[in-house]
Amino acid sequence: MKTRTIAVANEKGGVGKTVTVINLGAALSLKQQKVLLVDMDPQANATKGLGVEPEEGAPTVYDILDRESPAKAAEAIVQTAWQGLDLLPSHVDLSGSEVELADVVGRENLLKEALADLPEEYDFVLLDTPPSLSLLTVNVFTYARHVLVPCQTHPYAYAALEELFDTISAVKETINPDISILGIVPTFYDSRTRVSQRILDQLKTDENYRDLVFRTAVRANTTIAESADVCRPVVFYRKGSFGSVDYRNLADELLEKFGILADSTE
């Protein structure tokens, strides 16, 4: 079985990156896809957002990146409360890895090497990244074949896309020739505001981005925040909400891009 490895990334924070990892992963699991979420952010928001708190001494992403005595990735995987949705959790210790790994030869390949022994059962591996260009982000880009870019429909987020695309181009040229941008997901879209409408229109007409923009725009929706507060993906928390509908539609589009016809448990 071919596993699709997708980095969910944007160098600007607050664009819905972690929310997208959690809820897109959950929506894919509803469509009979086996999904692994890899939390590469030291803030561990994806881990917390799924209600996972690693037991004392249990291995996390930090441990599988340890060059001297690495833990096996398969041993660090945690089953979440939802069938078909697994997690490789993060830990605050990951924040120190930038310094600890700075002098390690081949440091940009550590994650790729660590995940080489992943079980082959996964249809998708979605990786959450820190909201900045760091060694951890570079490790994700070295491993992943695709990049999914959440872009808040706000001028600052739109302006930040150019820098992200330049970064991915540099990684493609020097480290990972197989990486490509899978698409841009408009997030926090509010049709009631002119700014949100204008940025969505710009994304759809800009020659650099228009062919990459998903049809689904994730609408601004308080239910998504509510679901995060109770550590439950919105597709399970409130099925009829805008957030749930949008992420299930996004999952359909993603499967369409990969030519997958999936059964659904909805």
What is the DSSP secondary structure assignment for residue 72, as one 8-state letter?
Answer: P
d(CA 209, CA 205): 7
Greater model confidence, 93 or 229: 229
- pLDDT score of 188 more than 90: yes
Summarize pLDDT for 9-22 with one digit per residue, the tens: 998 888 999 999 99
- pLDDT for the residue 178: 96
- pLDDT for the residue 139: 93
Summarize pLDDT for 137-173 with one digit per residue, the tens: 999 999 999 999 999 999 999 999 999 999 999 999 9
Name the CATH superfamily, with its identifier, for domain 4-257: P-loop containing nucleotide triphosphate hydrolases (3.40.50.300)
- pLDDT score of 236 more than 80: yes
- pLDDT for the residue 55: 80
What are the residue ranges spanned by the domains of the chain? 4-257
Average predicted confidence (pLDDT) for the chain? 92
CB atoms under 10 Å from CB of 113, counted, come to 17
- pLDDT for the residue 67: 76
Backbone angles phi, psi at 11, to 5 degrees: -75, -10
Among the residue ranges 62-66, 248-252, 261-265, the one predicted with the least confidence is 261-265
The distance from CA 17 to its chain's CA centroid, rounded to whole angstroms, is 6
- pLDDT for the residue 264: 67
Summarize pLDDT for 68-83 with one digit per residue, the tens: 778 899 999 999 999 9
- pLDDT score of 1 more than 70: no
- Rg of the chain, C-alpha, whole Å: 17
- pLDDT for the residue 156: 93
- pLDDT for the residue 232: 95
